[in-house]
Amino acid sequence: MASEDAAGKLNSSHKLHLLSSAQHADKLLGEVEAILSAAKSKSAFQKYKNSLSPVQVKVIEDYVARIRAQMVRVLEAQDIALPEPGFESIHSIRVTLAFIRIAFQECTPDRMAGYGNVPESKIRELNGLVDEMVSAVDKLDSYLAQGLGQDLEARLRRLEQKGADIGVLRALEQVINTRGFVEFRPTLSMILDRLETKSFEIALFGRVSSGKSSLLNHMIQSDILPVGVNPITAVPTRLLYGPAPRLKVWFADSSPESSDVAKLAEFVSEQNNPGNYRHVARIVVELPSARLRDGVVFVDTPGLGSLATAGAAETLAYLPRCDLGVVLIDAGSTLTEDDLSTIRMLYDAGIPASVLLSKSDLLAPMDRIRSLAYITEQVHSRLGLTTSVHPVSIQPSHASLLDTWLSDVIVPLFDRHQQLMEDSLRRKIGSLRDTVETALKARLERTPQASINVEELDGSLRNAVGRIAEVRELCYQITDAVRRKGDSALAHAAEGVAEAWARTGSTVPDTMVHDAIVQDAAESASVLYKTLRDLAQGLAETLASTAQALGFNEVPSENDLVAAIQEMPRLDIGTLQVDVRPNLVSKISAKAATRHVERSLGRQIGPKVAEAFSSFGSLLNAWTRRILAEIQLRFESHADGYRAHLGRIKASGHLSGAEAEAMEMDLQMLVGVGRRERTPVS
């Protein structure tokens, strides 16, 4: 410090004080700028009155810039370096958004109870208000989290480089970005998703040991799928194209993991993951297979056994979303009720089904013909469906059977799927263009549209969101009850065994106990499924009525939301080894017999059943969170646009001449590209 004095320089403390003073001054200059921009701010809570003329504003801005420039020169003259920025802007914005989210979450009815009783009639509306605002904040946070690679303009540029015709989409992106129509960004992003990833999903169903995994290995020319093991519950394995082999596993209670594909058996086999104790929720395998290159995705599903024990409604939820369902029937066995139920459920879900007679090499030619005829006749007589049954085999001597099925069935279906997808994309793009045009016209209206009750429609959408919050809480109560259902499931199984004793007087098979427990779990799952389906249907009705009131041509269908309810977990406790026989006490009365069986089952399999239900409840809880988030996302993709449109109706006529002229030009541009529209092809 003494040397600095001698040299006539400021010491480090002087410099630090001067720098701190300059930083404080710069912060105050920022407040001056905030006051100047208050007149242009769209804040709902204006703090300052605009009493400055445009000329005065310009002079003040110039002085602020000059003061800052002089301040930098002063610091440089004293050898004081300006500090580098310490925070990433995106990170800081996301942190601020987190505090905004918390601010609204503090407004739920239960948290406002401390300020006085919340009227019953306002509870759903308040829940809806909170969810509505949190959802809006989350959309911005999600956009920031995606990074520059997910920017719409950048994605359009990549598609254009691949040869896609995106004239309409580029015009839409320009208008959406220029006019601040952020509510249309999710729809445009979804269209780009479909253009970037054109997949055709084929799911294989069949009983354990029907040959699904062997057939898939043969088709993708890899031994990646373990053969001869029982897959775990509700974890379909998706096989899709990738430049290099890769395994990705999602869990219900932890972050996803990427791993070597050779470790697949550790997650999908009962031996390595009994009862799915690792809580695997989803598995994707990427492979550089020629059969997967064009967008075909194969799905290896859990082996059937107790799949259809609880009735069609809840069982349908167990089926993965797919474009084609392939049902394998083992040539070495016979057609079962499970096979017929799966075929029926696929058709009920509107999913085409292809029936294969696997391991056809085991049959002599005439036996094969008779077996094919029998299955075809049974499907027709039992289900009223006309379907072709195709023999297949992985044996080299019968390879032509599989090749024939692929060329006669899969290739035509894939080609048709691509055409249907392009038709669907054309409709979606046309619908988005019409909606954006309507938004521009509404903003250009000189007088509000008196026929539309803005407050009523806004309230209807808000109450619908409040219903989501109510169902979320109800579903969590259901899944929590499932976790503790082990004892009651054993009691239910015991009642069934006692009733069977009363009828037959003999020991019952182990499968009866197994099926009774699985039935109990499926009934709980069916309540959850119905609750979510009712919610989706109610939300769809609200969207449809709002769209009609606003005069929109495109009305969301019920299936837009109901289709989100897919891949429901199911309980699979593996094989149960039980030894329960009638004794003298059990013959006294049905109640005594039930107590005897329940105690015996509790000793033999009680802990295993309790653990299975605990895991099942956790899986259901994670699944419910995911499905509710997807339902709300689909609802908001429409509702957000309706809210913005209602806002534009209220603000109609408040445009400057220049703004109105620019919007008119945007409108004419969209009309022009609409006339020149071509089918997007990538």
Amino acid present at 223: D
Using CA of residue 309, residue 313, residue 319, residue 325, what is the dihedral sign?
positive
pLDDT at 161 over 80: no
* Domain 200-394: homologous superfamily in CATH: P-loop containing nucleotide triphosphate hydrolases (3.40.50.300)
Cα three-residue angle 91-97-100, rounded to 5 degrees: 155
Q: pLDDT tens digits, residue range 343-353?
A: 887 887 677 88
**556, burial (CB in 10 Å: exposed 0-12, middle 13-18, buried 19+):** buried
DSSP code for 261:
G
CA separation for the pair 438, 551 (Å, rounded): 10
Distance in angstroms between the alpha carbons of the first and the last residue of the chain: 69
Q: What is the mean pLDDT of residues 427-439?
A: 83
Residue 510 has pLDDT above 70, yes or no: no
- For residues 613 and 481, give the distance between their C-alpha atoms in angstroms, rounded to a whole number: 10
Is the model's pLDDT at 302 over the cut of 60? yes
The more confident residue out of 490 and 186 is 490
**Residue 307: per-residue pLDDT:** 44
- Of 153-157, 255-259, 387-391, the poorest mean pLDDT is in 153-157
Residue 450: pLDDT band (50, 70, 90) is low
pLDDT above 90 for 474: yes
Reported confidence tier of residue 311, pLDDT bands at 50, 70, 90: very low
Provide mean pLDDT across the span 297-326: 63
Bridge partners (DSSP) of residue 304 are 207
Distance CA 308, CA 337 (A): 8
- Residue 534 CB contacts under 8 Å (≥ 6 apart), including other chains: none
What digits encode the pLDDT tens for the residues 528-549?
999 999 999 999 999 999 988 8
Q: What is the mean pLDDT of residues 659-678?
A: 78
CA atoms of 299 and 288, how far apart (whole Å): 16
Cα–Cα separations (whole angstroms), residue 82 to 62, 66, 77, 85, 361? 22, 17, 12, 9, 80
CB 220 within 8 A of CB 292: yes
DSSP H or E stretch at residue 358: strand 353-358
Q: Is the pLDDT of residue 676 over 90?
A: no
Tell me what the mean pLDDT of segment 512-541 comes to: 89
Confidence check: pLDDT of 659 > 90:
no
pLDDT of residue 308: 40
What is the share, in percent, of the chain residues with pLDDT greater than 90?
14
- The closest alpha carbon to 331, from 364, 353, 299, 304, belongs to 364
Q: What is the pLDDT of residues 369-398, one digit of tens each?
A: 999 999 999 999 988 888 889 999 988 888
Q: Quick check: 150 pLDDT over 60?
A: no
- Mean pLDDT of all residues in 515-529: 87
More confident residue, 155 or 243: 243
Q: Is the pLDDT of residue 233 over 70?
A: no
Q: For residues 278 and 233, give the distance between their C-alpha atoms in angstroms, rounded to a whole number.
A: 11
pLDDT of residue 116: 87
CB 648 within 8 A of CB 443: yes
How much is the pLDDT for 312?
46
The pLDDT value recorded for residue 654 is 64
- CA of 369: how far to CAs of 364, 375, 384, 495, in Å? 9, 10, 21, 45
Which pLDDT band holds residue 145 (cuts at 50, 70, 90)?
A: confident
State the pLDDT confidence band at 586, using cuts at 50, 70 and 90.
Answer: low
Angle 486-504/510-550 helices, nearest 10 degrees?
Answer: 120
At residue 682, the pLDDT reads 44
Task: Give every strand in the sheet of 246-251, ordered side by side.
Answer: 257-259, 246-251, 280-287, 237-241, 296-300, 200-206, 324-330, 353-358, 389-391
pLDDT value for 71: 86
Q: Is the pLDDT reported for residue 466 higher than 90?
A: yes
3-state secondary structure (DSSP) of residue 257:
strand
Rounded mean pLDDT of the chain?
81
Give the pLDDT confidence of 17-72 residue by residue, as tens digits. Answer: 888 888 898 888 888 888 888 766 666 677 777 777 777 788 888 888 888 888 88
Question: Can you tell me the mean pLDDT for 337-359?
Answer: 83
**Does the pLDDT of residue 477 top 90, yes or no?**
yes
Cα 48 to Cα 34: distance, rounded to the nearest angstrom:
10
pLDDT for residue 68: 86
Residue 681 pLDDT greater than 50, yes or no:
no
**Rounded CA separation 486/493 (Å):** 11
